[in-house]
């Protein structure tokens, strides 16, 4: 894991997939206390394609001070966006509020390029918008 100048952790898509259970079929994702993948892209990007089981909350909504969804409260967050820029800002914002958060280097683009699962709003094969 590498750190940015602010100290916010950054992880690769492979590390994110391992921690969230997307790297191996026998790894349980969604286990209580396990890290949660938080997608901070805009709704149209999310609808086009996102990681199965991820939670969506746009960066704009985070900046507005909206509370985190119940299912992610008190858990480590692995933050992802399209390329890694918004997720880095989101992880820094969350960290400033005492939330354990790391961001994914390369974002959804790198996730999809690694052949990891992406689904659309209907649960079908998605694309990275």
Catalytic positions are 81
Pairing of strands 2-3, 9-11: antiparallel
Q: Give first-to-last CA distance, the chain, whole Å.
A: 27
CB-based burial of residue 2 (10 Å sphere; 0-12 exposed, 13-18 middle, 19+ buried)? exposed
């Amino acid at each position: 894991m590498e750190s940015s100048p602010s100290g916010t952790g950054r992880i690769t898509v492979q590390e994110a997939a391992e921690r969230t259970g997307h790297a191996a079929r026998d790894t349980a994702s969604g286990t209580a206390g396990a890290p949660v993948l938080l997608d901070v892209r805009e709704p149209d990007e999310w609808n086009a394609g996102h990681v199965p089981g991820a939670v969506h909350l746009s960066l704009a909504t985070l900046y507005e001070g909206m509370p985190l969804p119940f299912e992610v409260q008190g858990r480590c967050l692995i933050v992802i966006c399209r390329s890694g820029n918004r997720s880095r800002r989101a992880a820094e914002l969350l960290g400033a509020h005492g939330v354990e958060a790391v961001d994914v280097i390369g974002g959804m683009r790198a996730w999809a390029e690694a052949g990891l699962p992406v689904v659309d709003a209907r649960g079908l094969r998605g694309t990275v918008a």
